[in-house]
Structure formats: C-alpha cells, structure tokens
Amino acid sequence: MIETRIPTDLKRRDCLNDLIGALRGFEALALMGSRQVGKTSLLFLLINHLKEEKTPQDQLFYYDMTLKTSNRPTY
C-alpha cells in the first residue's frame, strides 16, 4: 500500500469550517471544482483537523485519482 504524506504546514482557510459542518451529516463528501483552486489542500486540512479530533485512523480514507502517464492506455 502506498501511503500519502499529508502536509501539516498548510494555511487554514475560512471554508474549512463549512466543510467540517457539511461532513457532520454525511459519511462521505466529494470536493469538486476547477483545477488548481485548492481542493486537495482543503482535503488535507480536513484530514489534519480530523486527526486532531482523534478520529480513528481506519475511518480516514484518501484516494488520489490522478492518472499517471505511464498508466494511460496507448492507442
């Protein structure tokens, strides 16, 4: 299993509180938006917050859906 290192030096964003509030009512959450707007950074902030709140590690899951160029089919 490949483990992703979650950065801990990210600047806290105001919308993190909205995300935390939205997560309270759901088991899963999807972040959608344009490229390069900070979705992954916001997710990392959320993971760090949940770790600080002592959320069990087995309840935290991050899956990077980035397709590596070497894995792309060739035509």
Q: What is the model's pTM?
A: 0.71
Residue 75 has a pLDDT of 46
What would the two tokens of residue 5 be?
């290192």
What pLDDT score was predicted for residue 4? Answer: 64
pLDDT at 5: 76
And the tokens for 57? 């590690």
Distance CA 7, CA 5 (A): 6
Q: Report the pLDDT value the prediction gives residue 54, as an integer from 0 to 100.
A: 93
pLDDT at 25: 78
Q: What single DSSP character describes residue 63?
A: -
> What are the tokens at 2?
């490949």
Block mean pLDDT (10 aa), the chain, length 75: 70 87 81 88 90 88 68 50
Nearest to 2 by CA among 50, 66, 55, 73: 66
